[in-house]
Amino acid sequence: MDRFDTMRVFTRIVDLRSFSRAGDALGIPRATVSHALRQLEARLGTQLLIRTTRCVKPTPDGQAYYARCVRLLADMEEAEAVFSHVATQPRGSLRIDLPGRLGSAVIVPALADFRARYPQLELDIGASDRYVDLVHEGVDCVVRGGEPADSGLIARRLAVLSQVTCVSAGYAAEHGLPQSIDDLAAHRAVVWRSPTNGRTQSLDFMVDGELQIIDVSGVITVNSGDIYAASCRAGFGMIQMPRHNIAADLAAGLLLEVLPQYPPPPMPISVMYPAQRQLSPRVRVFVDWLVELMADLH
Tell me which CATH code domain 84-158+270-293 carries: 3.40.190.10
Determine the pLDDT at residue 85: 52
Q: Which residues pair with 242 in a beta bridge?
A: 163
Radius of gyration of the chain (CA): 24
For residue range 103-122, list pLDDT tens digits in order. Answer: 888 999 999 999 999 998 98
Q: For 62, list phi and psi in degrees, rounded to 5.
A: -65, -40
CA 92 to CA 5: how far, in whole Å?
14
Q: Is residue 81 pLDDT above 90, yes or no?
A: no
CA 46 to CA 171: how far, in whole Å?
67
pTM: 0.69
Common-topology check for domains 3-78 and 84-158+270-293: no
Confidence of residue 139 (pLDDT cuts 50, 70, 90): confident
Domain boundaries, the chain: 3-78, 84-158+270-293, 163-265
% pLDDT > 90, the chain: 50
Residues 220-225: what's their mean pLDDT?
A: 91
Q: Is residue 135 pLDDT above 80, yes or no?
A: no
CA 265 to CA 166: how far, in whole Å?
14
Residues 123-142: what's their mean pLDDT?
A: 80
Q: Is residue 203 pLDDT above 60, yes or no?
A: yes
CA 85 to CA 35: how far, in whole Å?
33
Domain 3-78 listed as CATH 1.10.630.10: no
Query: How confident is the prediction for the chain on average, in pLDDT?
Result: 87
**In CATH, which of 3.30.70.20, 3.40.1190.20, 3.40.190.10, 2.40.50.1070 is domain 163-265?**
3.40.190.10
